[in-house]
C-alpha cells in the first residue's frame, strides 16, 4: 500500500516527519482521516488529537489549533502548539 508523507510542525520545531499509513486529525468542521492519494484539501484544525498510524505503531499528538494542508505530495499539519501525548 502506498504511504502518505506526513509532517507535523509547530512554530518551535518539527515534531514528526516521515511516511505513514494514516493520519487522523480534528478539523474545525469535523474529524477526518487522510490516507495516501487523498484529494488536495485544506482545513483549519481545532484543539484535539492527531493520531498517526504506521503499521502497528501508533503515535498520538495533542494539538491546539492550526492548519492541515493535503497536497499530492502529502499532508502537512501546521500546529500552533503541539506535544506528543504520553
Q: Are 68 and 45 in contact (CB under 8 A)?
A: yes
Contact of 29 with 38, CB cutoff 8 Å: no
**Residue from 2, 37, 40, 55 binding other proteins (CB under 8 A):** 40
Contact with other proteins (CB under 8 A) among 11, 18, 31, 60: 11
The residue from 12, 37, 56, 86 that contacts other proteins (CB under 8 A) is 12
Q: Does 69 bind other proteins (CB under 8 A)?
A: yes
Of the candidate residues 16, 24, 43, 59, the single one contacting other proteins (CB under 8 A): 43
**Could you tell me whether strands 4-9 and 74-79 are parallel, antiparallel, or unpaired per DSSP bridges?**
parallel
**Beta strand pairing status for 14-20 and 82-84?**
unpaired
Interface with other proteins, residue 14, by CB under 8 A:
yes
Q: What is the dihedral of CA 11, 61, 35, 16, to 10 degrees?
A: 50
Residues that bind other proteins (CB under 8 A): 7, 9-14, 27-29, 39-44, 67, 69, 71-72, 76, 78, 80
Amino acid at each position: 500500500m502506498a504511504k502518505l508523507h506526513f509532517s507535523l510542525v509547530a512554530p518551535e520545531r518539527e515534531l514528526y516527519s516521515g511516511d505513514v499509513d494514516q493520519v487522523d486529525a480534528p478539523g474545525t468542521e469535523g474529524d477526518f482521516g487522510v490516507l495516501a492519494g487523498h484529494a488536495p484539501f485544506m482545513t483549519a484544525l481545532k484543539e484535539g488529537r492527531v493520531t498517526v498510524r504506521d503499521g502497528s505503531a501508533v503515535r498520538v499528538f495533542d494539538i491546539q489549533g492550526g492548519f492541515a494542508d493535503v497536497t499530492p505530495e502529502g499532508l502537512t499539519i501546521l500546529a500552533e502548539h503541539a506535544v506528543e501525548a504520553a
